[in-house]
Amino acid sequence: HELQQRQVVIIGAGPSGAIAGALLKRKGHDVLILERQRFPRFSIGESLLSHCLDFIEEAGMLEAVQAAGFQVKHGAAFGCDERYTEFDFRDKFTAGHGSTFQVQRATFDKLLADQAELQGVEIRYEEELIAADFAGARPQLQVRRADGSEYAIDCAFVLDASGYGRVLPRLLDLEAPSCFPVRRAVFTHIEDRIDDPRFDREKILITTHPELRDVWYWTIPFSNGRCSLGVVAAAERYEGRPVDLDACLKEFVGEAPNLRRILKNAVWDTPARLIDGYSANVKALHGPGFALLGNAAEFLDPVFSSGVTIAMRSSSMAAALLHRQLGGETVDWEAEFAVLLKRGVDTFRTYVEGWYDGSFQDVIYYEKAQPEIRRMVCSILAGYAWDQNNPYVAESRRRLGVLAQICAPA
């Protein structure tokens, strides 16, 4: 019955865990990260937003990320049949980073975790959190090693950064249904061989299916001549399509003229994968002795690539609050963490809902948009969804409603 004493334990060494760990360590706290896999490991979520660089910088990892040779990203492009429009994150309403990266997550996540380790964070790979008890004065955790042996940890606080593992939501019955229907993504990596001069490798390309407006594709170029390519659609849109995932993805791509054109020489060398039911929510973002970070809390939808940014923002906020709490201050996790984090998540929610009901697509593809309004929308697409000075953040629902009426096709 081995019992270890620690100050802060973080579940998961993905982006939210690595950033939170480094931030707490930099403030002088003892941090242990438990990670059930061995890195590098595959993860989905390869297109970053500018705002997430603010947290990478805060955690002292910006230089390492900039030196890693990832594909530079300056914005987002949208295409539907012959329509095309683009947003450049360097020309946006909110101050902040104008560029970011598109990353192979296996490499990126390992880099962040290694950086956290270099700063003194202890990471134990292939160790899984299997039980947690928050009934006493201090949290008690049960951990299983790869060889099957187990030990217990007594700590002051737990941050759940377990992503799709959703460890504490499952163990503590905190899971809640998402407000979005079940959608499914089928995706792969290809050697893209794109020679179309109109294709901008420094932007993600989001393509709308020409007939089915709720179906969309991502094309995320990497710096090595390869691309991440995926389609997202409601479960029923897959009915009657090939069961084989490669054939299914190719069929979807064949229905989008712009993708068919730019990918005509692509080499499909990697078996496609499927992920579904990824949208999730929780009843609470915190409780006595714990807080939920990143995807362990709410995950909306991948369309605006907001996942890693929200995850890192939650890490930054939680680390700052936990630092104060460990210093003896009383912290209001609801007011200072949950409410503030949800504000930006709700901004994204407005635009995700608008994407699927078509209203935000009308805005995005509108040809006569005022430049200042586009700069405000661009800020949100760059991840600055918490900037209350931006009217499209502060009053997102009302503003999008008005804009959508102006931009609706006659």
* Nearest partner of 296 among 164, 129, 170, judged by Cα: 164
94 contact partners, CB below 8 Å, separation of at least 6: 379, 382, 384, 387, 389, 390
Query: Which of 8, 10, 15, 189 touches ligand FAD (CB under 6 A)?
Result: 15
**Is-contact 11 291, C-beta < 8 A?**
no
- 139 is an interface residue for ligand FAD by CB under 6 A: no
Of 46 and 387, CB closest to ligand FAD: 46
Q: Is the dihedral of CA 312, 317, 319, 322 positive or negative?
A: negative
Query: Which of 10, 77, 167, 292 touches ligand FAD (CB under 6 A)?
Result: 167
- 305 is an interface residue for ligand FAD by CB under 6 A: yes
Alpha helices by DSSP H, 36-103: 51-58, 62-66
* Shortest reach from residue 102's CB to ligand FAD, in Å: 8
> Would you call 389 helix, strand, or coil by DSSP?
coil
Residue 219-258 contact track with ligand FAD, rule CB under 6 A, x = bound: ----------------------------------------
Q: Is the dihedral of CA 53, 59, 60, 64 positive or negative?
A: negative
Query: Which of 62, 106, 245, 275 touches ligand FAD (CB under 6 A)?
Result: 275
- 59 is an interface residue for ligand FAD by CB under 6 A: no
Query: Which of 20, 23, 116, 161 touches ligand FAD (CB under 6 A)?
Result: 161
In the block, which residue shows the tokens 């090595």? 224
- Specify the length of the chain in residues: 410
- 37 is an interface residue for ligand FAD by CB under 6 A: yes
Q: How far apart are CA 198 and CA 190, in angstroms?
A: 19
Q: How far apart are CA 357 and CA 183, in angstroms?
A: 14
Of 15 and 79, CB closest to ligand FAD: 15
- 311 is an interface residue for ligand FAD by CB under 6 A: yes
- 163 is an interface residue for ligand FAD by CB under 6 A: yes
- 295 is an interface residue for ligand FAD by CB under 6 A: yes
- 302 is an interface residue for ligand FAD by CB under 6 A: yes
* Nearest partner of 293 among 8, 7, 14, 52, judged by Cα: 14
Q: What is the DSSP string of 231-278?
A: EEEEGGGGTTS-SSHHHHHHHHHHT-HHHHHHTTT-B--S--EEEE--
Residue 174-203 contact track with ligand FAD, rule CB under 6 A, x = bound: -----------x------------------
In the block, which residue shows the tokens 């389609």? 231
Of 160 and 362, CB closest to ligand FAD: 160
DSSP 48: P
- 46 is an interface residue for ligand FAD by CB under 6 A: yes
- 344 is an interface residue for ligand FAD by CB under 6 A: no
- Which positions lie near ligand FAD, rule CB under 6 A? 11-17, 34-37, 43-48, 128-129, 161-165, 167, 185, 275, 278, 294-295, 302, 305, 307-309, 311
